[in-house]
């Protein structure tokens, strides 16, 4: 019954490795997001997909590649990991906008990535 789930919860890896984080939501939402939370707790959006189409692509190194196989899943693949990628990555989902109406985002539990 978890609304937005992410795996893994913790990820410890070495510099230069490639890793993926998976996200799934069972809320029936059309839009999913990835956010990065740094060590100072600052939250910044990275990507968003609506119905499997990329709608937000912030200034993120191209080592980060999101993939949405269907509306309920959004994965994040990171190549050639660097020390600065260490952070907590949150997945979120929301309903699509309806006219001028906008909806809250529901967040997953986060994945703490540590690059050594």
Binding site for other proteins (CB under 8 A): 30-31, 33, 40-45, 48, 50-51, 53, 55-56, 88, 90, 92, 94, 96-97, 100-107, 109-110, 112
Length in residues, the chain: 116
Nearer to other proteins, 15 or 54 (CB): 54
Smaller CB distance to other proteins: residue 90 or 115? 90
Cβ at position 65, least distance to other proteins in Å: 19
Structure tokens at 76: 């994040």
Cα 108 from Cα 9, distance rounded (Å): 10
d(CA 83, CA 17) in angstroms, rounded, equals 11
């Amino acid at each position: 019954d978890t609304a937005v789930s992410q795996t893994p919860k913790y990820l410890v890896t070495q510099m230069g490795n490639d890793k993926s984080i998976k996200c799934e939501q069972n809320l029936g939402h059309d839009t999913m997001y990835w956010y990065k939370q740094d060590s100072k707790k600052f939250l910044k959006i990275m990507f968003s997909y609506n119905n499997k189409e990329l709608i937000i692509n912030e200034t993120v190194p191209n080592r980060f590649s999101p993939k949405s196989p269907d509306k309920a899943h959004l994965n994040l693949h990171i190549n050639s990991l660097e020390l600065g990628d260490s952070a907590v990555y949150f997945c979120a989902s929301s309903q699509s906008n309806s006219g001028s109406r906008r909806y809250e985002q529901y967040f997953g539990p986060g994945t703490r990535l540590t690059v050594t």
